Amino acid sequence: MWWVEPPTTHSYLPQQVGFLTRTDQKLRRVQGGRIRRRRTPQARQEDVSDQYKACGFELTSQPSETLCQTHHHHWMNCNARSGFICTLATLMTRSLVILDLLVSSLVYLPLAPFPTHSPLSLSRHRKHQHSIFLSIMKTTNRPDEWKIEQGLSGAVLPVLDMTGPETKALDPQTFGELTKDEQAIKSVGDREKLFAAERKGWTGFVEWENYPKKKDAAHKILTSQTFPPNPEFQLGPIPATNPVLPGTHWKMWHHAIGGELTKVPEDSWETVLKEKHPDMLHLLQFPYNGEPPKRLVTDKEFTPNSLHFVRNHGGIPIINKEDYSFLLDGLVANPRSFTLDDLMDESQFPRMEKSITMQCSGTRRIEQILKYAGQGDEVPQAPWAEGAIGTARYVGISLKKVIKACGGLVDGAKHLEFYGADTYFKDDKTMNYLVSVPWSKVKANEVMLAWEMNGETLPRIHGYPLRIVVFGYIGARSVKWLYRIKAIKEPSRAPVQSQEYLYFPQQVGKHNFKLTDGIQIQEMPVSSAIMSPWTKQVVIHNGKIRCKGWAYSGGGRWPERVELSADGGFNWYTIPLDKLSKKRRWTWRIWEFDLPCDVEGWVEIVCRCWDNSLNTQPPNVRTAWNWGLHVTSSCHRVSVYSVNKSKPKTKDRLDEFEEKGIPFGPITVPLAFPSQSWDDYEKFWKENGPRDAEDD
């Protein structure tokens, strides 16, 4: 919860629930106190037993068939004596358990998510405690039936086949036990030699593209064993962990290939921990995908290297500068290799310095996931939030100048294909990371070879010693750990270019999609996002809600106007130009604005951007949905609970909270004191009554 009042913004701790204790046979609430007198477990159990017997239940110490006994708990089995009680048992259970266990068993109830198991279990975290579990009447219902039917566990919902006269529930895809054909794997040969280091000073790099026999051997290894499936993170709850997803099968693929790839997952994670800010949100541990938390995304106009998002497609190779070179070949007049010293020689190549915003096409994907699931591969579809965007100042040279040094393009070359030293996997096949951009982009001096980022040597996690930076394109085209550039006639047919980063029509999905249905994603459309406040946050303000965020448009366009709405998009306020950062061709604009909001209760704050070509954002996420869950460019919406302190009644209530020393949040906790005196209540109806309409 945020208290928004100039000149600063304060954060308030939520109300804590204390212990319910019985002292001298009276129930009282203790905030952080100690229980001085407690009844014995036997006396409390007798109380519970007497109360349930009065309702027609017989309590024993034997476990119920529907419960699991542990050494921590005493179990009580209940059986109905009367038909009337039987019919009401399931309705009464929760209220009986909560009431009796609170009053008789002195239970501590913390604020917690709704339980995922049944029957309801409550425990006291005190020494020598005993938990009493009430077994409800036998039922065939699944414990999580309520969650399933409400769409909170969509992964276990059956597919319904309604093509016939009767509706059928189809079984979902299942995965058997993991298998491994050791003989087939051994027949490949010595993996340590087969997949040994390619170059001196290059650790974790295997060159696949010029060695088809290596690819065949790796394919046999991968198809001679099975690996875990992708974890379900869309139709089921997203794990509350950091890293969110571990990338287990990607790690296992690297270990299965062995040789130079054996230690890549572990070495890569060490690089993450060394180079990235400790507050980074690790969406995928390997290959690493991470973004900064919202509170730090727009903290600075230029994103610090340690907070810049990372979207890796493979492991992080370790390459020494002294041993580095890359090859420029293909359809060029004079193919040749270049060292880093060659590129840094300003007598050959003029230095280039550019401020560039880089954005992943998966930015804000979580908005699509939470409403409409799509393709669920954890690497191409990592659950990005609004932080998969960052701005940095890069130093390097124009790729156009390097091609010129090779005598230019020949034989109708129209595209440049970039090779990264990381290993990529697709359909049980191994390859290096390959993508391409058209020559027209290079010719316009909008592609650079960069070795410096924000005044520092390019971090290893961002492509050291040399990477491609493509202005205004999605980050996937800016290849890291560059080891080759090849001039070609057609766009790359490598999987990342031809099978991924495709934008499908809304009625295309698992049931019918073909790769040729998708539009290749290159330039990012106009987009924006609210970094503060956050969804479901309580905001106390004086008539204006302090908001901050970012706006961006790819392809060399820039944000011209950013607007905010506090009523779901009916009325818009234009953010003044002095509240937006500097206008540049290739970068975002971060902004802050005090949004007028007179309304109280739940409001929806919406952000919308217009670029210099008058492009703007679709109204809602449904219009942005696509099977690959890319390009969430719809208006960003944040629902907050508005508390307007400029209103006298609201101010009085907040003052009352402060006087009593009771935190206001969370709003779901019932009011801890009377909302008005009884005299005030009677006075109101005396002056404004009658309360009920009379039959006149």
User: pLDDT tens digits for 304-329?
Assistant: 999 999 999 999 999 999 999 999 99
Amino acid identity at 188: V
Contact 211, 355 (CB under 8 A): no
What does pLDDT average to over the chain?
85
Mean pLDDT of 275-290: 97
Mean pLDDT of 332-347: 97
Instruction: Give tens-digit pLDDT for 564-622.
Output: 999 999 999 999 999 999 999 999 999 999 999 999 999 999 999 999 999 999 999 99
The CB density around residue 357, as the number of other CB atoms within 10 Å, is 24
Amino acid identity at 179: T
pLDDT (0 to 100) of residue 39: 47
- Peptide bond before residue 438 is cis, with ω within 30 degrees of 0: no
Dist. CA 54–CA 96, nearest whole Å = 12
Amino acid identity at 534: W
Instruction: Give tens-digit pLDDT for 81-103.
Output: 334 333 344 444 444 444 443 33
Proportion of the chain above pLDDT 70, given as a percent: 80
Dist. CA 338–CA 403, nearest whole Å = 11
pLDDT (0 to 100) of residue 142: 67
Q: Hey, do 1-18+524-696 and 183-502 end up sharing a CATH topology, with the first three levels equal?
A: no
Instruction: Give tens-digit pLDDT for 531-553.
Output: 999 999 999 999 999 999 999 99
pLDDT (0 to 100) of residue 154: 83
Q: How confident is the model at residue 30 (pLDDT cuts 50, 70, 90)?
A: very low
Dist. CA 183–CA 132, nearest whole Å = 55
Dist. CA 591–CA 574, nearest whole Å = 11
Mean pLDDT of 246-272: 97
pLDDT (0 to 100) of residue 42: 53
Superfamily of domain 183-502: Oxidoreductase, molybdopterin-binding domain (3.90.420.10)
Listed by start position, the domains of the chain span 1-18+524-696, 39-145, 183-502
Q: Roughly what angle, to the nearest 10 degrees, separates helices 41-54 and 83-105? A: 150
Dist. CA 340–CA 33, nearest whole Å = 67
- Which has more confidence, 25 or 318? 318
Rounded to 5 degrees, φ, ψ at 599 are: -75, 145
Give 440's contacts (C-beta < 8 A, 6+ positions apart): none
Q: How confident is the model at residue 212 (pLDDT cuts 50, 70, 90)?
A: very high
Pick from 98-102, 269-273, 438-442: least confident? 98-102
Q: How confident is the model at residue 145 (pLDDT cuts 50, 70, 90)?
A: confident
Instruction: Give tens-digit pLDDT for 398-426.
Output: 999 999 999 999 999 999 999 999 999 99
Comparing C-alpha atoms, which of 93, 62, 91 is closest to residue 77?
A: 62
Pick from 123-137, 385-399, 410-424, 626-640: least confident? 123-137
Helix (H) or strand (E) holding 502: strand 502-503
CATH of 1-18+524-696 among 3.50.50.60, 3.40.50.300, 3.40.50.150, 2.60.40.650: 2.60.40.650
pLDDT (0 to 100) of residue 427: 94
* pLDDT exceeds 80 at position 256: yes
Instruction: Give tens-digit pLDDT for 157-177.
Output: 889 999 999 999 998 888 889
